[in-house]
């Protein structure tokens, strides 16, 4: 998720899922998506992340490379919003493919060091789609490009976080938003401490903090 300071205070970037979506139709969400095959391959750019963050992301991830989760977050943000979480690149990597070529063409590199791990969430057992999701937080001031996207999200816009109480949100989205805004206000976006786990026990939401 992206936060920034705007004319009306702290703003969050969110959009609405299509009414025809099989999972959470007409619900407002943060940009994001699943890990795709391209995310299992190096971007060709430097991909250094803190050792503590890598260890946190391995929890519940099996053998999956923790960096793949961050690649997916940056890629999905770009595809769904048109914004690149990026910094100036010193060199254009010869091995860049897919969306990473777009970064290279603009003299940019994915800003791996700019993402903070906020929360891991697991959908209820009774859900027809099960997800083991990681939520990341980044400073929207470091997002390059124009807000467009691929149409995956409707009504995509920056909105004051105080206005989001009148939008259709699910409980985990509300929790992640509150957690992220709290960190934002304290200036600890890149907190490397243990991230909370949001899960359901007999259909009741529970938050576990290590």
Question: Mean pLDDT of residues grouped by 10 in the chain (210 residues)?
Answer: 94 90 82 94 90 85 88 97 94 83 93 93 77 93 91 94 94 95 90 85 86
Q: What sign does the dihedral 77-83-86-89 (CA atoms) show?
A: positive
Contact 70, 112 (CB under 8 A): yes
β-pair partners for 205: 200
Taken in order of first residue, the domains within the chain and their CATH numbers are: 2-208 (3.90.79.10)
β-pair partners for 135: 119
Q: Which residues contact 44 (CB under 8 A, 6 or more apart)?
A: 93, 94, 95, 96, 97, 100, 104
Contact 14, 4 (CB under 8 A): no
Contact 122, 135 (CB under 8 A): no
Three-class SS state of 124? coil
- Phi/psi at 185 (5° precision): -65, -30
Neighbours of 101 (CB within 10 A): 14
Alpha carbon 25 to its chain's center: 19
Strand residue runs (E) in 65-172: 84-88, 108-110, 116-122, 132-139, 143-144, 153-160
- Give the pLDDT of residue 126: 66
The pTM assigned to this predicted structure is 0.92
Strand residue runs (E) in the chain: 2-6, 9-17, 28-29, 84-88, 108-110, 116-122, 132-139, 143-144, 153-160, 197-201, 204-208
């Amino acid at each position: 998720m992206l936060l920034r300071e705007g004319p009306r205070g702290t703003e969050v970037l969110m959009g609405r899922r299509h009414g025809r979506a099989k999972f959470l139709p007409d619900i407002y969400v943060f940009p994001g998506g699943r890990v795709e095959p391209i995310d299992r391959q190096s971007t060709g750019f430097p991909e250094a992340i803190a050792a503590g963050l890598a260890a946190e992301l391995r929890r519940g991830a099996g053998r999956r490379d923790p960096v793949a989760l961050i690649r997916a977050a940056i890629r999905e943000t770009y595809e769904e919003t048109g914004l690149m979480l990026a910094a100036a690149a010193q060199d254009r990597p010869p091995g860049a493919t897919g969306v990473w070529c777009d970064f290279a063409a603009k003299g940019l590199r994915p800003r791996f060091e700019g993402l903070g791990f906020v929360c891991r969430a697991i959908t209820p057992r009774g859900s027809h789609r099960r997800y083991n999701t990681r939520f990341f937080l980044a400073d929207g001031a470091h997002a390059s490009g124009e807000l467009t996207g691929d149409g995956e999200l409707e009504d995509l816009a920056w909105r004051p976080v105080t206005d989001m109480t009148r939008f259709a949100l699910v409980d985990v989205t509300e929790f992640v938003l509150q957690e992220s805004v709290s960190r934002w206000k304290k200036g600890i976006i890149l907190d490397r401490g243990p991230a909370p786990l949001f899960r359901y026990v007999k259909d009741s939401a529970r938050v576990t903090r290590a």
